[in-house]
Amino acid sequence: MFDDKSRYAGLPTASLAKPDGRRAVAYVTRRILPLPEAYAVAGRIGVTDSDRIDNVAYKHLGLPTAFWQIADANEAMHPGELTSKAGRRLVIPLPFGLGGGR
């Protein structure tokens, strides 16, 4: 259902019957976030005023859609906020599969 690099990969799915009883809606169950300590740290970076979280993820993790790994490692609910202020220090985790959690 999801790419193996997705934050939703491996999560169970469930379904909910619609009130009319004629169809069900499938959904992915809740993702429990790992503690930041669960991530192996590859490094730390300082955010510049031209950074975007997808570009940071591509540069450091090799995949722009891996931004969620940086968000999780920095306890961010809104990934875009990670790069909204120049000078912020970010933890860059090792990508999953290389000792980087999960």
pLDDT tens, position by position, 31-64: 888 888 888 999 999 999 999 999 999 999 999 9
d(CA 44, CA 48): 13
Show the tokens assigned to 27. 């959904």
> Is 15 strand, coil or helix?
strand
76 and 57 share one domain: yes
Categorize the per-residue pLDDT at 98 as very low, low, confident or very high, splitting at 50, 70 and 90. very low
> Is 68 strand, coil or helix?
helix
45 and 83 share one domain: yes
The more confidently predicted of residues 10 and 71 is 71
Number of domains in the chain: 2
Angle at 3 between CA 34 and CA 81, to 5 degrees: 50
10 and 22 share one domain: yes
**Helix ranges (DSSP H) in 1-102:** 53-61, 67-73
Residue 102 has pLDDT above 70, yes or no: no
Categorize the per-residue pLDDT at 96 as very low, low, confident or very high, splitting at 50, 70 and 90. low
Show the tokens assigned to 91. 């933890």
47 and 95 share one domain: yes
Residue 15 has pLDDT above 60, yes or no: yes
26 and 52 share one domain: no
Tell me if 32 sits within 8 A of 40, measured CB to CB: no
Average pLDDT in the 60-73 region? 93
CATH (domain of 43): 3.10.350
44 and 27 share one domain: no
- The overall average pLDDT reported for the chain is 88
Domain limits for position 45: 35-102
Q: Phi and psi dihedrals of 54, rounded to 5?
A: -70, -35
